[in-house]
């Protein structure tokens, strides 16, 4: 039998996204927050769940949660659109702003979902490498984008997986220097201080993405935001599915974003964990000079540079510790004290046995 729906070239070799799921596993592999919501927030979630209008469609504009986001980050609410995670917003930007065969650029190594979305969109991928120390050569990026007629440039800042942040001054120069729509993914910017949210309206070609999945500790709820000028936000709202963000997520998100005090405490707890992990990893590095180096990151994870990271990855995996191997780097999310301790113990033992 010959079927007309035979899998086409762009999907025939794809496999479903496969996160590490085993129970009892120490998860330092997905850059989530290790903190559960505080009791005060859990109580509010219960009240929201009990009072929700389950039989009605949610607000297609996600107005309340966009206003809560706008208040928390001090941007105008009219310039905010919500998505089912920033993952959805990335997909919408690729489908809305790129036509088949047009060029998009990524700055490698970076978040793998960018290239994935480009492939599904049948766009042309221009992969621009970073320097050998993983820093960005802005002049090179501007030159390549011009030469290759790049329509959409997407990158994360701070970067996943390198953890490095590019200074605002460099971002300004980059956005001004290209004709492409620049999608600036600030998924980890809560951990740093180089956000462009304070000045996004000065640019015709800038979209900023933020997520509730990392510093805000709400990965399960799936909520992300895009911030841009009116023209881009209207286009984004026009290409999205009407009810892309469900009513529970909208209400939970508004509750979380309405508690800046709680969020500040959580952020400090995560940063303390990161600092502790980094301090101990550096100490181990001093005992084993030349074996690995730690990039000077500003995120909730560490990026380690070493020869043959697969070996260390497997060693940790055998001890039920999941980290991430990506872009040639070993990426370790900071965890609760006992999780950091378990990682550090295994990490030290790995180098000690030589
Ligand atoms: C985790 C992550 C996201 C995904 O965020 P969601 O809102 O959970 O979809 C986006 N960009 C980068 C760089 C990330 O690391």
CATH number assigned to the domain comprising residue 290 = 3.90.1150.10
Query: 3-class DSSP state for residue 153?
Result: strand
Is 185 touching ligand 1 by the criterion CB < 6 Å? yes
Measure Cα distances from 223 to 115, 210, 256 in Å. Answer: 21, 9, 11
pLDDT of residue 21: 74
CA-nearest residue for atom 5, ligand 1, is: 86
How many structural domains comprise the chain? Answer: 2
Average pLDDT for residues 8-25, to the nearest whole number?
80
Is 162 touching ligand 1 by the criterion CB < 6 Å? no
Q: For residue range 283-312, what is the model confidence (pLDDT) as tens digits?
A: 999 999 999 999 999 999 999 999 999 999
Q: For residue range 136-193, what is the model confidence (pLDDT) as tens digits?
A: 999 999 999 999 999 999 999 999 999 999 999 999 999 999 999 999 999 999 999 9
Query: 3-class DSSP state for residue 225?
Result: strand
Kindly list the strands in the beta sheet with 150-156, ordered across the sheet, starting from the edge strand earlier in the chain: 80-83, 224-228, 206-211, 181-185, 150-156, 103-108, 124-129
Is 85 touching ligand 1 by the criterion CB < 6 Å? yes
Same domain flag for 70 and 172 = yes
Measure Cα distances from 220 to 107, 112, 154 in Å. Answer: 28, 20, 24
Contacts for 136 with CB less than 8 Å, ≥ 6 apart: 107, 130, 166, 170
Which atom of ligand 1 approaches the CA of 159 most closely?
13
Average pLDDT for residues 311-331, to the nearest whole number?
96
pLDDT of residue 14: 87
Q: Mutation test of ligand 1: which of 65, 69, 87, 186 has the most ligand atoms closer than 8 Å to its C-beta?
A: 87
Q: Which of 219, 242, 259 is the last residue of a domain?
A: 259
Same domain flag for 205 and 295 = no
Distance 213 CA to ligand 1 centre (A): 7
Average pLDDT for residues 210-227, to the nearest whole number?
98
Q: For residue range 31-78, what is the model confidence (pLDDT) as tens digits?
A: 999 999 999 999 999 999 999 999 999 999 999 999 999 999 999 999
Same domain flag for 102 and 243 = yes
Distance 351 CA to ligand 1 centre (A): 32
Same domain flag for 155 and 187 = yes
Of residues 354, 348, 284, 346, the one with CA closest to residue 320: 346
Same domain flag for 284 and 254 = no
Distance 228 CA to ligand 1 centre (A): 18
Confidence of residue 13 (pLDDT cuts 50, 70, 90): confident
Q: 323: domain range?
A: 26-36+261-352
Could you tell me if residue 7 is inside a domain? Answer: no
Distance 236 CA to ligand 1 centre (A): 18
Of residues 225, 182, 186, the one with CA closest to residue 202: 182
Alpha-carbon distance 124 to 127, whole Å? 10
Confidence of residue 1 (pLDDT cuts 50, 70, 90): low
Same domain flag for 112 and 242 = yes
Same domain flag for 250 and 335 = no
Whole-structure pTM over 0.85, yes or no?
yes
Is 117 touching ligand 1 by the criterion CB < 6 Å? no
CB 150 within 8 A of CB 290: no
Alpha-carbon distance 113 to 118, whole Å? 9
Portion of the chain with pLDDT greater than 70, in percent: 99
Is 309 touching ligand 1 by the criterion CB < 6 Å? no
Q: Which of 194, 225, 259 is the last residue of a domain?
A: 259
Is 30 touching ligand 1 by the criterion CB < 6 Å? no
Is 83 touching ligand 1 by the criterion CB < 6 Å? no
Distance 80 CA to ligand 1 centre (A): 17
Q: For residue range 229-279, what is the model confidence (pLDDT) as tens digits?
A: 999 999 999 999 999 999 999 999 999 999 999 999 999 999 999 999 999
Residue 25 has pLDDT above 80, yes or no: yes
Same domain flag for 95 and 179 = yes
Same domain flag for 227 and 317 = no
Could you tell me if residue 10 is inside a domain? Answer: no
Could you tell me if residue 14 is inside a domain? Answer: no
Same domain flag for 282 and 346 = yes
Is 29 touching ligand 1 by the criterion CB < 6 Å? no
Alpha-carbon distance 135 to 148, whole Å? 21
């Amino acid at each position: 039998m010959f079927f007309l729906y035979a899998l086409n070239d762009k999907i025939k070799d794809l496999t479903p996204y496969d996160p590490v799921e085993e129970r009892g596993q120490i998860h330092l592999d997905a850059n989530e927050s290790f903190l559960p919501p505080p009791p005060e927030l859990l109580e509010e979630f219960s009240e929201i769940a009990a009072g929700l209008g389950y039989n009605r469609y949610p607000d297609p504009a996600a107005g309340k949660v966009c206003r809560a986001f706008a208040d928390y980050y001090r941007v105008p609410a009219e310039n905010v659109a919500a998505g089912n995670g920033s993952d959805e917003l990335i997909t919408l930007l690729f489908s809305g702003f790129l036509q088949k065969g047009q060029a998009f650029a990524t700055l490698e190594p970076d978040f793998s979902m960018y290239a994935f979305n480009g492939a599904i969109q049948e766009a042309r991928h221009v992969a621009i490498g970073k320097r050998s120390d993983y820093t960005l050569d802005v002049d090179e990026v501007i030159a390549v984008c011009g030469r290759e007629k790049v329509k959409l440039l997407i990158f994360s800042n701070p970067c996943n997986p390198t953890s490095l942040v590019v200074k605002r001054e460099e971002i300004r120069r980059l956005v001004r220097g290209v004709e492409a729509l620049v999608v600036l993914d600030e998924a980890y910017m809560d951990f740093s201080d180089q956000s462009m949210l304070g000045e996004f309206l000065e640019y015709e070609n800038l979209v900023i993405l933020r997520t509730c999945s990392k510093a805000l500790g709400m990965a399960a709820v799936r909520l992300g935001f895009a911030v841009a000028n009116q023209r881009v936000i209207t286009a984004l709202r026009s290409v999205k599915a009407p009810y892309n963000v469900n009513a529970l997520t909208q209400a939970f998100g508004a509750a979380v974003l309405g508690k800046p005090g709680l969020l500040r405490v959580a952020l400090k707890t995560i940063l303390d964990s990161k600092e502790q992990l980094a301090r101990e990893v550096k100490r181990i590095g001093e005992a084993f000079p030349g074996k690995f180096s730690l990039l000077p990151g500003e995120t909730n994870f560490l990026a380690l540079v070493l020869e043959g990271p697969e070996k260390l990855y497997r060693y940790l995996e055998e001890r039920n510790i999941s980290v991430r191997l990506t872009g040639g780097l070993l990426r370790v999310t900071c965890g609760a004290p006992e999780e950091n301790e378990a990682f550090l113990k295994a990490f030290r033992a790995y180098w000690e046995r030589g």
